[in-house]
């Protein structure tokens, strides 16, 4: 089956036992990751912590300034605004989205639905569209003009035109809609996979016991889907905290209404050349993600306990 090969002689150093050779190959095979990660991953991440305590414009000398970078950003109202915006956009973009995804998944899972695969494709296609393309299209859809498609549609219901790009809530709703659109189908297909793995006899038993449809949904479907829901909420939370492209493109730069943490970081670094405060922002973002992950973790643990 496998031919003997003269290269064996060169690959095998003399005098090494079989066990040692295997171990050596193991280290060799995993070394590319550790090598490249050390240079492009670990070192930059650690260096961010160092840079967070330096004043540096990217060219001259670095000077140690202690916690000054942190006090600078913590006293900058825009920094707090960017955290607030990130959380609000994240909640608006994922909360309703996950509920809609669950409803779509339940509908798709119903036995009587025809053309399931067509629906799946239609729901999934936004997810293969790049964020940049989505942001550009939605910038035009949510044009501030009266003739913008969303404004024109709203006017049919007697709602006057909204300044989507320049108003506090307009910008957030528009950006949240982009996130909603790009991910709702993706998540509904993940939920659908979960629904299909729930044993049918659970529902049959409940039916015999006289449970109504909504009771079955609440007491069978939701608990059985819990691991998937927890996972989706985890990834959605971390993804939300990293929103960058949508507000950059939609707000045409750095508008206050749509400033997010990563956008603030990017502006400090590559627009203001303040690499110290930018690094302090990166460290803050890292800590924020840890806090949110911990909250998620404890919340899902508590859910687990109360469910039992």
Partner 1 sequence: MLRKKGFVNKVTIHVLLIIGALLSVFPLYWMFVMATQPNHVINKLPPAVVPGDKLVENFRNVLENVDFFGAMWNSFVVASLTTLGVLFFSSLAGFAFAKLQFKGREKLFAVILITMMIPPQLGLIPQYFIITKLGWLNDLKAIIIPGLVNAFGIFWMRQYIKDAIPDELIEAAKIDGCSIFRVYWNIVVPSILPAFATLGILTFMFVWNDFLWPLTVLRDESSYTIQIAIRALQDAYVKDYGMILSGTFWATLPLVVVFLMFNKLFISSLTQGSVKQ
- The span of 41-49, 66-74, 86-94, 217-225 binding partner 1 (CB under 8 A) equals 41-49
- Subset of residues 66 to 125 that bind partner 1, contact rule: CB under 8 A: 103-104, 107-108, 110, 112-114, 117-125
Shortest Å, Cβ 119 to partner 1: 5
Does 305 engage in binding with partner 1 (CB under 8 A)?
Answer: no
Size of site (CB under 8 A) for partner 1: 107
Q: Which of 228, 230, 233, 303 binds partner 1 (CB under 8 A)?
A: 228
Provide the strand spans (E) within the chain.
Answer: 54-55, 63-64
Q: Nearest distance from residue 123's CB to partner 1, in Å? A: 5
Place of tokens 């930059």: 44
Query: Residue 102 corresponds to which tokens in the numbers above?
Result: 């669950």
Binding segment (CB under 8 A) for partner 1, from list 168-176, 202-210, 277-285, 297-305: 277-285
The answer to whether the CB of 186 falls within 8 A of the CB of 124 is: yes
- Cβ atoms of 295 and 234 within 8 Å: the answer is no
- Per CB under 8 A, does 29 bind partner 1? yes
Select from 79-87, 139-147, 198-206, 299-307 the region that touches partner 1 (CB under 8 A).
Answer: 139-147
Residue 120: name the closest of 191, 26, 17, 53 by CA. 191
- Using alpha carbons, list the distances in angstroms from residue 105 to 18, 194, 227: 53, 9, 16
| By the rule CB under 8 A, 186 interacts with partner 1 | yes
181 binds partner 1 (CB under 8 A): yes
Instruction: Count Cβ atoms below 10 Å from residue 50 Cβ, excluding itself.
Output: 11
Q: In the complex, what is the shortest distance from the CB of residue 183 to partner 1, in angstroms, rounded to a whole number? A: 11
Q: Least distance (Å) from partner 1 to the CB of residue 279?
A: 6
Closer residue to partner 1 (CB): 25 or 218: 25
Q: Out of 8, 17, 160, 306, point to the residue binding partner 1 (CB under 8 A).
A: 8
Cβ nearer to partner 1, comparing 137 with 205? 137
> Judged by CB under 8 A, does residue 60 bind partner 1?
no
Please report, for residues 120, 241, 243, the alpha-carbon distance to residue 133 in angstroms, rounded to integers and kept in the order given.
Answer: 21, 20, 15
Phi, psi for 20 (deg, rounded to 5): -65, -40
Ramachandran region, residue 274 (left: φ > 0; alpha: ψ -120 to 50; beta: rest): beta
Distance CA 27, CA 7 (A): 20
Is the CB of residue 146 less than 8 Å from the CB of residue 153?
Answer: no
Contact segment (CB under 8 A) with partner 1 among 70-78, 83-91, 214-222, 231-239 equals: 231-239
* Distance between CA atoms of residues 182 and 111, nearest Å: 26
Q: Which position among 16, 41, 159, 222 is part of the footprint of partner 1 (CB under 8 A)?
A: 41
Per-residue tokens: 262: 């990563």
Give yes or no for residue 238 binding partner 1 (CB under 8 A): yes
Choosing from 92, 134, 171, 195, the residue that interacts with partner 1 (CB under 8 A) is 134
- C-beta of 46 vs 222, nearer to partner 1: 46
Q: What part of residues 141-180 is at the interface with partner 1 (CB under 8 A)?
A: 141, 143, 145-149, 152
Instruction: Return the structure tokens found at 77.
Output: 């109202």
Which residue shows structure tokens 């709203």?
154
Of residues 187 through 216, those in contact with partner 1 by CB under 8 A are 189-190, 193-194
């Amino acid at each position: 089956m496998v031919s003997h090969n003269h290269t064996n002689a060169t690959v095998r150093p003399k005098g090494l036992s079989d066990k040692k050779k295997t171990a050596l190959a193991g280290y060799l095979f995993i070394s590319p990751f550790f090598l490249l990660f050390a240079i492009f991953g670990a070192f930059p991440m650690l260096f961010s912590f160092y840079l967070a305590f330096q004043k540096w414009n990217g060219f001259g000398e670095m000077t140690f300034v202690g916690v000054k970078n942190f006090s600078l950003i913590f006293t900058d109202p825009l920094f707090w605004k960017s955290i607030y915006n990130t959380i609000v956009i994240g909640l608006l973009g994922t909360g309703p989205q996950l509920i809609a995804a669950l409803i779509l998944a339940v509908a798709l899972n119903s036995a009587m639905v025809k053309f399931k695969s067509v629906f799946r494709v239609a729901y999934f296609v936004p997810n293969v569209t790049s964020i940049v393309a989505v942001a550009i299209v939605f910038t035009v859809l949510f044009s501030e003009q009266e003739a913008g498609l969303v404004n024109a549609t709203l006017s049919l219901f007697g709602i006057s035109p909204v300044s989507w790009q320049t108003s506090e809530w307009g910008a957030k709703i528009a950006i949240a809609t982009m996130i909603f659109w790009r991910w709702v189908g993706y998540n509904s297909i993940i939920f659908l996979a979960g629904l299909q793995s729930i044993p049918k006899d659970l529902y049959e038993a409940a039916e015999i016991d006289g449970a109504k449809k909504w009771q079955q949904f609440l007491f069978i479907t939701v608990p059985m889907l819990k691991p998937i829901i927890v996972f989706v909420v985890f990834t959605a939370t971390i993804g939300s905290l990293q929103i960058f492209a949508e507000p950059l493109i939609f707000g045409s730069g750095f508008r206050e209404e749509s400033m997010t943490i990563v956008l603030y970081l990017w502006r400090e670094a590559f627009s203001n050349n303040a690499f110290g405060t930018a690094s302090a922002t990166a460290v803050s973002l890292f800590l924020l993600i840890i806090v949110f992950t911990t909250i998620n973790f404890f919340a899902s643990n508590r859910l687990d306990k109360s469910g039992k």
